[in-house]
């Protein structure tokens, strides 16, 4: 608690030591500033970085990796600067997360592919990279994500987020790779198919009209040939009759 004098008036201000002072934070703040600062304090306990709300673990930064290896053994960890993240069963219904760890430069990075389903038929994918470390440490790195498929490549380059920020904050701030909306892709494919069907239908109509014209022309030509043939036969019959009369 500290007393300040301003303009001859006594102002009483409570300067609280941070809730996380025992973890290393040495700031003293006005009690009204405390809640906001605690939300972003580097010394607050780390929560489990795995997406979803099922794991309630929290602890120090040094304990994050041991926790992941013990409690989340299904997460694969790959070594090296370049890795391939293969997500399977992307058509599973509802919200789904795919998680993989990458170890390089003496640090660990968490790669998260999250699928959100806003409503039926509307799905959106987000790819997020988090550093198992502080925000200051995250500023020392840069990453590049590449999405390849259908002879196209989508590239995203950025600075990784700290696990203090989390996946939700990265998505909220658009600090992630956001592939095209799957529902829009489906709609685009549907439109392409419809356009193809319409073009095919127009071609069929045009072909049918051409065939009808050809058939009509052939019919007219056939009728003409038949008339000519009948006329020739009539003339032949007449000539034969004349010859018979002469004999």
- What pLDDT digit, counting tens, does each position of 154-207 carry? 888 999 999 999 888 988 888 888 876 544 555 666 677 778 888 888 888 888
- How does the average pLDDT of the chain come out, rounded? 76
Query: Mean pLDDT across the stretch 3-14?
Result: 36
d(CA 23, CA 71): 24
Using an 8 Å Cβ cutoff, are 164 and 59 in contact?
no
pTM, full prediction: 0.58
- What pLDDT digit, counting tens, does each position of 73-105 carry? 999 999 999 888 888 887 777 788 899 999 999
CA end-to-end distance (rounded Å), the chain: 150
Asked if pLDDT for residue 39 goes beyond 70, the answer is no
Alpha-helical (H) ranges within 58-181 are 64-71, 135-138, 166-172
Query: What percent of the chain lies above the pLDDT cut of 90?
Result: 23
Asked if pLDDT for residue 14 goes beyond 90, the answer is no
């Amino acid at each position: 608690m500290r007393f300040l004098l301003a303009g001859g008036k006594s102002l009483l201000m409570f300067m609280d030591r941070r809730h996380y002072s025992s973890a290393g934070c040495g700031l003293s703040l006005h009690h009204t500033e405390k809640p906001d600062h605690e939300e972003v304090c580097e010394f607050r306990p780390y929560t489990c970085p795995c997406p979803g709300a099922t794991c309630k673990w929290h602890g120090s930064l040094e304990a994050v990796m041991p926790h992941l290896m013990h409690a989340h053994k299904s997460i694969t960890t790959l070594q090296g600067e370049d890795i391939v993240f293969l997500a399977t069963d992307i058509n599973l219904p509802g919200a789904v997360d795919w998680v993989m760890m990458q170890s390089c430069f003496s640090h660990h990075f968490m790669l998260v592919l999250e699928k959100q389903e806003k409503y039926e038929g509307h799905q959106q994918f987000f790819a997020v990279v988090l550093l198992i470390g502080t925000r200051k440490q995250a500023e020392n790195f840069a990453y590049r994500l590449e999405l390849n498929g259908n002879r196209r490549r989508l590239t995203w380059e950025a600075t990784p987020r700290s696990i203090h920020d989390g996946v939700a904050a990265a998505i909220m701030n658009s600090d992630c790779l956001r592939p095209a909306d799957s529902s829009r892709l489906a709609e685009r494919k549907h439109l392409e198919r419809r356009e193809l069907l319409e073009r095919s239908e127009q071609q069929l109509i045009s072909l049918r009209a051409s065939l009808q014209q050809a058939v009509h022309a052939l019919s007219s030509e056939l009728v003409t040939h038949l008339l000519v043939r009948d006329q020739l036969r009539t003339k032949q019959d007449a000539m034969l009759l004349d010859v018979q009369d002469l004999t």
